[in-house]
Structure formats: C-alpha cells, structure tokens
Structure 1
C-alpha cells in the first residue's frame, strides 16, 4: 500500500491530523492497534481552548461541539475556606473555553472520517516504523495474522506515551525530561447535575479536588489520592463522602450524588521529549509530551502540535517547501514548554504534597493570596488557561 502520510494512532491527535490533511487533498492512512470502541472508551479531558475550538471548526467537525458544548467565561479556585473567581472573558478581552469531552471530539472525528470513506486500520498488531531517517519511510504491521506494509512520504507518531514511534528513536537521538508527582487523581463520572455551572479547583487540608462536567446533566469529579490507592478500594459512597468533605459548605449542600458510570485513578507526571522530528517521522500529542491535567492542557497541546504539523505538510505538498517541517519541532516545543510551565504551576498551587514543610505550606498559601489580590496575576493565569496565541 502507498500513501502520502502514515498516521500511527487513532486518538484525537491522529484523527484531527487526518481530517485536516483530507480537507487539503493530502492522502493519509491511520493505523491503530486498539479497536475503535476501545479508543472511544477512554475518559479524558473536557476543557477546550478557544484556539482548539477554532481548529476543530477548520476541520469541519465542530457542529455538535457548537450545539452541545458548554462555553465558560470563567472558573473558581478555592483555598481552604477562601474563594476566588477567575473572570476569563473579562481578563482576556473576550476569550472563553468550551467544556466538551475528549470522547465526543474523538467520536466527531471518527464519524467525519467514516463519512468521507477514509481508511483507518484498527486492531493492527506488531506495528513497526521503518527507514524514517530516509526519504522512503515505511510502516509494517500484522492484521488477522497477515503482514502488511505501507510506504509513505512521512510518518506522524500520534500513538501516545507508550506508542511505538518514540520507542523506535535511537536513544542517542532523543532527550527526555520528566517529573513524576507523588499523588494521583481519582476521577468519577456520573449522570448527575454539576455542583455549579463553572469549574471549581480546590486546595483543602485533605487534598486537591476538581468539580467539572461533560454536560448540564453529566458531572466529572476528581480528588487527590495516594498512588498506592486502588480503584476497587473506593466505593461510590466513599468517593462522595470524601468529595463532600473537601467542598466549601455551600457547594457541599448543592452536591447531587449518584451511581458512577466510570471510576479511575490517573498518576500525574510532566514529560517532554526533544526533538519532535526524526528525519521523516514526527511526534505529536502524548507521544511527545505529557502534562498533569491540572491546567487542562493535554488535549489542547496535542491540538497545537497538529496545527503546526498540518501547516508544515500543507506547505510541503502545496508549495514544495520544507521550511515548515524543518521548524515543526522548534515551534511546537516552544508552546509545549509554556503549557508545561502553566500545568506545573497550577499543580504546585492546588495540591497538598506529602513532603511539604511548614515553609512550603506558607508559600503555597501566600501564592493564592497574591493571586487573589492581583488583577495582573489573574490576567496571566487567564491568558494561559484560555490558550496562548500560536507563534
């Protein structure tokens, strides 16, 4: 088989790249080791930057997002009993975020790809990326016991943190930066109305909490937990009791509980691989970087990568110029590190670290008080949260 771009991974990064390339008449095949149902079953982020929404509009997959997504003008931060509202719209000259689950973004992209009759190969096993340091890269995989090979111009590694693309890069050619946080997030999804209309991030003596939502009738809640915890140890009743104990009194009284649709524990880490280009193979999304979810940047940084990469490929095929692909890694990493910094800062502000000293606790408290007292500090937070402009 022959294609122009072989995309490894049918998550939102790979699907979005495939859709943008299709709109420009560039042929791409997507290879995914899991089933489509498995990909759709992943519960992930739900806050989209305004620039990410605009990219989905460009891809032609924003109709349902526009009708069902929840536009938020701000969010709240609570520290113990104190409460601060961040007016995103007022602090950023009218910019907002949209709450729309990653699962729904993935579904919209899958539907668009199927409608267009584009090829996605699910259930591919033993995927190999070959000769990506030459002008004739190839992808080899097995399907139903048969070996297949795709020749292409470029390989886009959109196959996540544990994928084959980054793992195939020689160790001497890549540098990795990582910080692992000493706690996780226990998340619960339920068909219950949100505790309030906007998100609230909280830091309380028992730890971090986040009250989010997927719709006006579906809520997503998180609490900080130990990395030693197991999901099986957390009944629904235990989760609701723990969350209610962390919420401010007026919100605790508003909390509607119900059976969980899904519960999971996610460890928190910061991770960046450099560079993101290796000959004719590119890394994008979780294949190249991970952020703690505190800053709502995971899916948004993936979309940012895809914007830079799609433009580079448009330029290569449309203008016969390699300038875009030569600068992809530099441009993407500049925005990635800003997202990493913001996510790190939010994580440091909002979590109770097990090794914090009294001094550390005082600094954390003072950071919140400074934020509450300074419009300039709130504006810096807001402009990062709604999404920095593309370079």
Structure 2
C-alpha cells in the first residue's frame, strides 16, 4: 500500500502534468530562478533573465513546439489508459511506443489510427526525454523495457528512408529561368541559387541577416567579397561558415543574384530575404517564412517541367527544401569531405545519404583484398 506521502507526491505530479497539457506552450525556462538561500539584488536578477534567455536559445522554436505537442499527446494517452505520466515509468512508455507503432488507441476517440513511422516514434521518445528533463526527471532510453520494445519496432517496421528528389545543376538552371526579373523574381532567384550552391536548409536561407546582430532572430549573416560570399550560420552544433564562390556566368551565379536583390530591394540592414509590397515594387521589412522556400521550389519545379512524365501531385511530392541540399551533394564533383563541410554534416555517412548519384564502386575493396 502506498503511503500518504507517496499519494500526495503522485497527485502533485499528475496536477503538474495536466497543467502542462492544458498550456503546452508554457515556457519552462521561466522556472529558472535564484536559489532560496541567495539574497536577491538588481545584478543577480538581471543574471536570472540572462540565464532564461540562454535556456530559451537551447532549442529552436519549432523544436520546442514539437516537444510540447509530444508531451500533450503522451499525457492524453496516459489519461485514456488510466496511467500517470509522472514520474516516468519505462513500462508505461514501452506500452505507449507499442501503441504508436501499431496504431491502436492513439487517437482521442480510442479508435484505430495510422501507425507512426519509426523515425516519428524516435522523435516522440526524444520529446518525452526532453520534457521529463525539464520537469526534473531522467528518462533512461536504454532501460530494457524501452530499448527492447523500440528495437523490436525498428526490426519489424523500419523501412529505407524516403528520399526527396535531388535538384541537379540542369534542373536549377531551368527553374531560375522561369522567374521574371522584377523585384520578386530577383529575390526568389537569389534564394534558389544561394540555397543550392550553399547546400542550405530552407530555415538557414530565410534566417540570414545582412550584418551580424542586425536582428534578435538572426540565424546568421553574409559577407560579400570579390571571389564570393561567406555565410556565417547558426547550426545545431554551433556556428559554421559556408563559402559560396562566384559562378561561371552571371545568369546562374548565386553571389551576383544576391547582390542584385540587395541593390534593387535597397536592403542594407536586417533580414536579407523579406516580403514585397502588393504591387511588387518595394521590399518590406518582414522576414520571409521558411515555407516560402518550399512553395518556391514546388512552383518552379512545375514551371520548369521537371519530371513532366508524372502526374502533378506525384511531381510535387518528389521535391522539397532538402532537394537543394541533395542536389549540391549529388552534382558537385569534388572530394566528399568538401561536400560534408559545406552541408555541415558531422559524418561522411550522413553526407552520402544526400548523394543521389555517385560512383559507389570507385573504391573496390574486393579487388583490393585480392579477389
């Protein structure tokens, strides 16, 4: 029989869990405060605010939103099953993972739902681990209940990753050729060429500022030289530099396209890629959303007639923002380590996932071994 203290502790944990479900966007960083034994002062209070700012910067807004949804989904599942989300129970979490993989009882109506992919289940588990850490708990993903169930899910349901089509050199040339030379066309041309030559994520493209520290939400800045442009980007593991050299012709040179956009849009401060006025004659101060890059890629893919043998819906499904990164990795005929550095990958294996066409048997270990 649980003691009164254990019952009280469980009740408080349940209340805290429900509070976070009702308000999943509540900022966990606000819990950072001075220890109770420390005397407050103006200087220390300001340090608390600084610490909270750093804590908020530990993960991107999109990641935090995803983790909040993960926790809300898990807590709702617990209520449906009569379980408690706090404190963490490896046995309960293993049952939750099994339900995610099978699709049973995942929806609020407790009816059968579409089973989730292995990558999504992995992401959900990471979200739970992060949420538990914010609540002062530790989730051991190597616990036998969690690890064995997850291993079984991966063995039974794992499939090769679905890869987006790479946009190759001839493709990007055809895509930018469909764009007009008005202000919007100059902007979109610069975004496509810069994203392709830099192997950039769509979020990295739109987060660029003209200078360092122009805006609080900056994800990097640009410097333009005679031989090219240097982008300093805030990546997952820290800051990295991306060198983009000038092209062989102005029509497809990413640096020239960037210069043209900045000149005609009269942008010398703040976000590099912004919206335009309704008549398309003036640049606004509003930074573009990364979804604009995805829409731009899909629109120009259709206009350029890429994979025109397929129905429109299938053609659109083939391409995304990652198509630019895959295109650079697949088209650049240079040593693999340079591509790895440009894409900001920690391993060569990750870079190879982006290479849709390469000489896979250039190094023949069979013959090297004497066979």
Structure number having the greater helix percentage: 2
Structure number having the greater strand percentage: 1
**RCO higher in structure (CA 8 A, sep ≥6):** 1
TM-score range, shorter chain: under 0.3
